[in-house]
Amino acid sequence: MSFQFTQAQVDIFNREGCLLIPDYLSPNEVKEILDHTNRLIDEFDITTHPLTKFTTENDGDHIGDEYFLKSSENISFFLEPAAFDKDNNLIKSKDKSINKIGHNLLIDEVYRKHTINYKSKKIISRLNYRDPRVLQSMIICKQPQIGGEVPSHQDGVFLYTEPQSAIGFWIALEDCDETNGCLSYLPGSHLNSPIGKRFVKAETGGTKFIYLNEDTEDSYKNSSENYKLLKCKKGSLILINHSVIHRSNLNFSENSRFAYAFHVIEGDAIYDEKNWLQIPYTGGTKFTKLYDV
Ligand SMILES: O=C(O)CCC(=O)C(=O)O
Ligand SMILES: [Fe+2]
């Protein structure tokens, strides 16, 4: 067990808000996740997917909201809007039409073992988490040519705890650079950017934002030359602080940009019922432990 996570890396992460760790996964481990993901995509029946069948008469928004909210407990497939024409016909092959798969991949043994293990335990315990819980897990596809931009944001908006505690583990499954939409971030922005808004369940069903801090909202729009690019090789891990401002560009290359990401929170932080992501369906009251304390 040779994986090291040093105090020097902790210091960079605390200063920058993001940290790149090359070779977190071996080429064989990356291949295992990619092969498995491609198998799931092969088995996925897009013709019966609720979001390919809706028409304006049968309330696609409502079906979409339901499907999204329930994905907290299962393996759901989210489709790339640009894979459809204006009449909602699929214009890309199935494997090129998926935007994201989530949000609880831990029910699958392959994703689970690459999430809960001695390496993530070493990182999270060095960062002084007491009772780390895995809140969500997903494959992000960023398809060639249509994989859209992820606008500037803070993860604490979507994974809101008091005090803030979310941390992203983002693992490149393919090489990433500026042509296929690698991540980029505003160095140190987590140190002076209180969470700008919260993504919550709306009373009427669906989701909405509650605005908290306009200055942070303004700094999301900061000019792109201040963003630092996180170009990396497949197998790299990028840690993302809850408050750091980060984004990714659209993918205008011929290659996809698959990544596996999971987010962890502190189990004893307040996680209230306003948050979009809840686990009412599994009968549990708490998210999965990253490790047994
Ligand atoms: O994969 C991307 O482009 C964005 C990912 C992201 O923002 C995250 O995992 O927090
Ligand atoms: Fe993010």
CA distance 66 to 61: 9
3-state SS assignment for residue 159: coil
pLDDT in 10s for each residue of the chain, 293 residues:
689 999 999 999 999 999 999 999 999 999 999 999 999 999 999 888 877 644 444 455 677 788 888 898 899 999 988 888 888 888 889 999 999 999 999 999 999 999 999 999 999 999 999 999 999 999 999 999 988 899 999 999 999 999 999 999 999 999 999 999 999 999 999 999 999 999 998 888 888 999 999 888 877 876 677 999 999 999 999 999 999 999 999 999 999 999 999 999 998 899 988 998 887 544 455 788 997 64
Nearest ligand, measured from the Cα of 263 = 1
CA distance 24 to 179: 23
Architecture of domain 7-287 in this structure = Sandwich (2.60)
At 10, the amino acid letter reads V
Q: Tell me what pLDDT residue 16 has.
A: 98
CA distance 224 to 77: 31
The domain locations on the chain are 7-287
For the full predicted model, state whether its pTM sits above 0.90.
yes
The closest-lying atom of ligand 1 relative to the alpha carbon of residue 170 is 9
Q: Which residues line ligand 1 (CB under 6 A)?
A: 140, 150, 155, 168, 170, 183, 240, 246, 248, 259, 261
Nearest ligand, measured from the Cα of 169 = 1
The closest-lying atom of ligand 1 relative to the alpha carbon of residue 140 is 1
User: What element of type H or E holds 124?
Assistant: helix 118-126
Cα 183 to ligand 1 centre (Å): 7
Give residues whose Cβ lies within 5 Å of ion ligand 2.
155
- What are the distances in angstroms from CA 219 to CA 71, 105, 258? 31, 33, 28
CA distance 138 to 149: 17
